[in-house]
Amino acid sequence: MERIWAPWRMEYITSEKPAGCIFCVNESGERDRELLVIHRGTLCFVMLNRYPYTNGHLMIAPFRHVSALELLTDEEMLELFRTMSICRTVLEKSASPQGFNIGINLGKAAGAGVDDHLHIHVVPRWGGDTNYMSVLADIRVMPENLLTTYDRLLPAFSLLRCGK
């Protein structure tokens, strides 16, 4: 039997899980890198998924804790979808994916890991990004560390904030 070592998972397994909602981030932004928050807008923000399907898996959430589309203001909805477009542009320029999965999981039955704070997934995809590991062993191989991905994408988000 082949063994696959993922020692970084032990930190998650043994760590104390944070209380509260992962999408309820503070206003200061001083812990953004630690929380994987890579972009802050006026009404919503973008963070890397800590347990991604592929490298560059982003999540967009309103700052306001809402669970359903109909609870969003028109301004929040517009900013969420504009930010989704920005995420796609950043990923195209930074990672050259061949496609995207973009979606919202509403409710636990639909696959929402956090079902009481609405968020949008933007997942870059490449031909062959799933391989025999996923089929045979229900394992995903991530070729890049999360903070390396964060540091690689951050300049592209910074340029967009400056209007370039």
CA within 13 Å, CB half, 69: 8
136 in helix, strand or coil? helix
Query: Is 57 among the residues known to form the active site?
Result: no
Phi and psi (nearest 5°) for 87? -60, -45
Burial label for 40, CB within 10 Å (0-12, 13-18, 19+), is middle
Q: Of these residues, 39, 57, 119, 121, which one is catalytic? A: 119
Is the separation of the CB atoms in 118 and 104 below 8 Å? yes
Cβ atoms within 10 Å, residue 115: 15
Catalytic center residues: 119
